[in-house]
Amino acid sequence: MSLTITPLSPALGAQISGIDLSVEISVEQRDAIEQALLKHQVLFFRDQPLTPDQQARFAARFGDLHIHPIYPNVPETPQVLVLDTAVTDVRDNAVWHTDVTFLATPAMGAVLSAKQLPAYGGDTLWASGIAAFEALSAPLRQMLDGLTATHDFTQSFPLERFGTTAEDRERWEATRRNNPPLSHPVVRTHPVSGRKALFVNEGFTTRINELSEAESKALLALLFAHATRPEFTIRWRWQENDVAFWDNRVTQHYAVDDYRPQRRVMHRATILGDAPF
Ligand SMILES: O=C(O)CCC(=O)C(=O)O
Ligand SMILES: [Fe+2]
């Protein structure tokens, strides 16, 4: 059975049907999903109840998996992290961000599965860095291409919120030691498609290195606002057992924080990527 791919918005996003992600997918299916991911940047699958092990196996077809330094995981399947509002403060996902850009090799993508949802609310938005970059004027595109920016783990994981117990504090200190601030290009070239994307995000980007402090601040504010214009985004309204698979190299996302104190539980498998260029 072949996949049905239904685009959901001009900038990014497509719904995929005609596949069961709980069983080993074929090489053809894997390649078709990869092609769809390159084109649509975020893919949505409905009615895919996955165990953590099945989720990890599916994600691992696209690369090695990352074990997150801070978020709790499923003990038997540590490659699957748990975002459970009853356990973890997930408010920091309600900022536009690209996952783990504080790593030298940030994730190429992630597979997110909805386990428990509020009655309504708790949507997630994605924005296309490709659409955002292409919509900039030629002089600004030219100026940005070649600049680098600093990404810092502590911007989205402040000690005040992630170091409440002695154990948490120790984990946070170790993560900070192992992940000092580092630089990535402001404009990233997709390693497979060759398309260029804006690659700064409010979650982790603190500074455009080659500019003065004031210039960097003003330009980052402009770029953060530009990159998340509704025209470049898609908003997903979750149902239980939905799965989203995004290309983390050219997108950012925002988990809307509008449903607490209702509980929301998501599982994520994160696929390692390569160094941005
Ligand atoms: O909870 C969500 O919808 C997304 C959270 C998030 O930022 C992530 O899983 O990377
Ligand atoms: Fe995220």
Q: What angle do CA 249, 40, 128 make, to 5 degrees?
A: 50
Q: How confident is the model at residue 152 (pLDDT cuts 50, 70, 90)?
A: very high
Q: How far apart are CA 271 and CA 277, in angstroms?
A: 18
Tell whether pTM > 0.85: yes
- The pLDDT of residue 70 is 84
Give the other-Cβ count within 10 Å of 250's Cβ: 27
pLDDT recorded at residue 1 = 66
**Atom number of ligand 1 nearest to Cα 268:** 9
Torsion of CA 159, 160, 166, 167, to 10 degrees: -50
Please give the positions annotated as active site: 97, 99, 253, 268
Instruction: Tell me the two tokens of residue 261.
Output: 């104190």
Q: Among 266, 267, 271, which residue has the most ligand 1 atoms within 8 Å of its CB, making it the best to mutate?
A: 266
Q: Has residue 240 got a pLDDT over 90?
A: yes
Which ligand has its closest atom nearest to the C-alpha of 98? Answer: 2
Residue 99 Cβ contacting ligand 1 at under 6 Å: yes
State which of 70, 87, 240, 253 you would mutate to test the pocket of ligand 1, scoring each by most atoms of that ligand within 8 A of its C-beta.
253
Which residues lie closer than 8 Å to 258 by C-beta, 6 or more apart?
121, 122
Question: What are 206's two structure tokens?
Answer: 């603190």
Residue 83 alpha carbon, nearest atom of ligand 1: 1
- Contact criterion met (CB below 8 Å) for 209 and 150: yes
How much is the pLDDT for 20?
98
Is residue 71 very low, low, confident or very high in pLDDT (cuts 50, 70, 90)?
A: confident
Q: Judge if the beta carbon of residue 93 lies within 6 A of ligand 1.
A: yes
Rg (CA), the chain: 18
